[in-house]
Structure 1
């Protein structure tokens, strides 16, 4: 094997690492943006939804975003899950409450 082939193999073996870094970068940015969205949402919507208060969600999503940007081992995965819970469970419920959509 020549050196060019070894360089290509090394690059191919680094692709999963590069993809993971890009994924955590995107999730971290989404977490920071989510913390901004959580801070801009009305306080009473969190109470009506039966969720943690506004500043608890700002802290959860903001710290999770920072942890994902810094790519702490294992903790970043928990942060990604917390950000996902905010975007796919909490935020849609809050938006429905604010808009007056209480239907099933």
Structure 2
């Protein structure tokens, strides 16, 4: 009974890894090619191939070593590359909206 629960947990974990890789692949595909160059990251083609292989391995092969390598690549993309692409593309950040005179604690009124 314990092994059944463990197998079920692993199945959900592998499905989660696959969904995470698919989401990263979609983000990589929708980013502009010039944003990769401007952010000084690898090319769009590189990331699409790497994340595409990760999705295929997760979906078809299920080899743990390759899945872990793909998970590391996916995490690197989501934590390092994607935020850099968003900064370069002007796509949001921690602060959305506001004016140029806004400081970290609200608007700056010049001491008035």
Class of the TM-score when normalised by the shorter of the 2 chains: 0.7 to 0.9
Choose 59-68 or 76-85, whichever is displaced more.
Answer: 59-68
Residue 27 (str. 1) matches residue 17 (str. 2): yes
Select the residue among 32, 36, 40 that pairs with 1:46: 36
Q: CA RMSD in A?
A: 1.7
TM-score by length of 2: 0.71
Structure 1 residue ranges (4+ consecutive) displaced by more than 4 angstroms after TM superposition: none
Higher share in helix: 1
Aligned residues: 91
Which 5+ residue runs of structure 2 have no aligned equivalent? 93-112
Q: Structure 1 residue 58: deviation in Å?
A: 0.9
Partner secondary structure for residue 15 of structure 2: helix
TM-score by length of 1: 0.76
Distance 2:24 2:84 in 1: 14
